[in-house]
Amino acid sequence: MKLPAQSRYTLAADLSICRLLNGMWQVSGAHGAIDPARAVDAMFAYHDAGFTTWDLADHYGPAEDLVGAFRRQFAARYGAERLSEIQAFTKWVPSPGPMTRPIVEEAIGVSLRRMGTACLDLLQFHWWDYADPRYLDALRHLADLRDDGKIRHLALTNFDTDRLAIIAGHGIRVVSNQVQYSLVDRRPDSRMAAWCMEHGVSLLAYGTLLGGLLSERFLGRTEPNSAELNTASLRKYKQMIDAWGGWGLFQELLAVLKRVADRRRVGIANIGARYVLDRPAVAGAIIGARLGAAEHIADNARALNFALDADDVAKIEPILAKSRDLMRIIGDCGDEYR
Ligand SMILES: NC(=O)c1ccc[n+]([C@@H]2O[C@H](COP(=O)([O-])OP(=O)(O)OC[C@H]3O[C@@H](n4cnc5c(N)ncnc54)[C@H](OP(=O)(O)O)[C@@H]3O)[C@@H](O)[C@H]2O)c1
């Protein structure tokens, strides 16, 4: 299978990504057991199909080690010169504390070693507490490490619009901010997307498929109980649906999405992904992959091969208009973590 040219996005002059990124939270252990050998085999299947871009984090269990193993096997199979085909974006999610150069450098060194590379393609930084301004110290050191060649591009995750402006005001360049963005959680539409468009910062979306809730699997189903919500992702986004408008409204949304999907000869998940990919400032959507345990490669490729028109969006919008305002209930992007 070959993905179309529009599946790629230029995140930076020297960094082309697949607009559907493979999310590796799903290998952390919180979504069922993962067999490392099968997981690496699955990484080849994603890559060979054109899904060349990976999203992971220092705290996603073995994710960084799996990228390291994949890179080693990839170099042995295809030659080290083709390693540049892989984009692996990790995160640094430090516990609160001092952010000195040695502390920052040591953390990045661990990721470099685990991932088996001399330079991280993209380092996405998370910070838990805005009242502690040391995130600016961390970002300055990360920017220096970028200038030293250890990080190709610096990025953020779960930062709100006000903090993006503060960081830019300190002259710290970032290429992207990774935030929750879906048909249910449209908070980036309120302020962040416009700011990002103005300042040349891209958004990477997660939660786009609501952990799998946004699919035929849950269409027409009674509200799932805790036993059915058997991954951390399903539990997280069921809570989001509850805050947004509840299971009844979500069923109305799934029913409309099914009509739109049938018209387009795709699936409900494809409509959810396409909707987010078409929003301003969105570079890509990250879709979680339970590597070696479940696989949606061919299905998700369909999201890169069609367009939604005004009729489709006009069918969806009235349902979304009935939902609660998550900006008011939760706050801006990332506030759910603070
Ligand atoms: N920065 C952050 O704070 C943050 C937070 C959460 C996630 N993330 C990133 O985003 C990634 C995505 O994770 P997520 O939790 O947001 O989950 P998600 O992508 O919304 O959902 C992933 C699940 O959707 C199901 N799925 C995938 N394709 C499908 C299709 N075509 N049809 C039907 N179901 C499909 C799969 O379920 P099955 O496996 O059961 O088939 C998969 O495990 C993570 O891996 C991580 O990289 C970042």
Which one, of 8, 2, 64, lies nearest residue 39 by Cα? Answer: 64
Q: What is the pTM of this model?
A: 0.98
Residue 195, ligand 1, Cβ within 6 A = no
Index of the ligand 1 atom closest to the CA of residue 26? 45
Find out whether 283 and 19 touch, Cβ atoms under 8 Å.
yes
pLDDT at 193 over 70: yes
Residue 274, ligand 1, Cβ within 6 A = no
Which one, of 135, 125, 132, lies nearest residue 170 by Cα? Answer: 135
Compute CA distances 111 → 55, 91, 97, 129, 194, whole Å. 13, 9, 19, 23, 32
Beta-carbon contacts of residue 149 (< 8 Å; ≥ 6 apart): 118, 119
* Phi, psi for 18 (deg, rounded to 5): -80, 135
Q: How do 8-12 and 15-18 pair as beta strands?
A: antiparallel
Over residues 72-91, the mean pLDDT reads: 98
In DSSP terms, 88 is beta-bridged to: 54
Report CA torsion sign: 297, 298, 301, 302: negative
Model confidence at 306, in pLDDT bands (50, 70, 90)?
very high
pLDDT at 245 over 80: yes
The residue count for the chain: 338
Residue 213, ligand 1, Cβ within 6 A = no
- The full DSSP string for 45-99 is HHHHTT--EEE--TTSTTHHHHHHHHHHHHHHHH-GGGGGG-EEEEEE-PPSS--
- Give per-residue pLDDT as tens, 207-222: 999 999 999 999 999 9
- Give per-residue pLDDT as tens, 103-120: 999 999 999 999 999 999
Over residues 23-33, the mean pLDDT reads: 96
Angle value at C-alpha 209, between 324 and 238, nearest 5 degrees: 50
Domains (ranges, CATH) in the chain?
Answer: 5-219+267-307 (3.20.20.100)
Model confidence at 1, in pLDDT bands (50, 70, 90)?
low
Index of the ligand 1 atom closest to the CA of residue 207? 16
Question: Given ligand 1 and candidates 122, 213, 296, which is best to mutate, with the most ligand atoms within 8 Å of its CB?
Answer: 296
pLDDT at 4 over 80: yes
Over residues 275-284, the mean pLDDT reads: 98
Give the model's pLDDT for residue 177: 98
Index of the ligand 1 atom closest to the CA of residue 178? 1
pLDDT at 297 over 70: yes
Question: Given ligand 1 and candidates 20, 26, 27, 55, which is best to mutate, with the most ligand atoms within 8 Å of its CB?
Answer: 26
Atom 13 of ligand 1: nearest residue by CA position? 288
Distance CA 155, CA 72 (A): 26
Model confidence at 2, in pLDDT bands (50, 70, 90)?
confident
Residue 26, ligand 1, Cβ within 6 A = yes
Residue 70, ligand 1, Cβ within 6 A = no
- Give per-residue pLDDT as tens, 137-155: 999 999 999 999 999 999 9
Which one, of 190, 210, 188, lies nearest residue 201 by Cα? Answer: 188
Give the model's pLDDT for residue 114: 98
Please give the biggest Cα pair distance in the chain: 56
Atom 47 of ligand 1: nearest residue by CA position? 23
Share of the chain above pLDDT 90, in %: 99
Average pLDDT in the chain? 97
Beta-carbon contacts of residue 212 (< 8 Å; ≥ 6 apart): 218, 231, 233, 234, 269
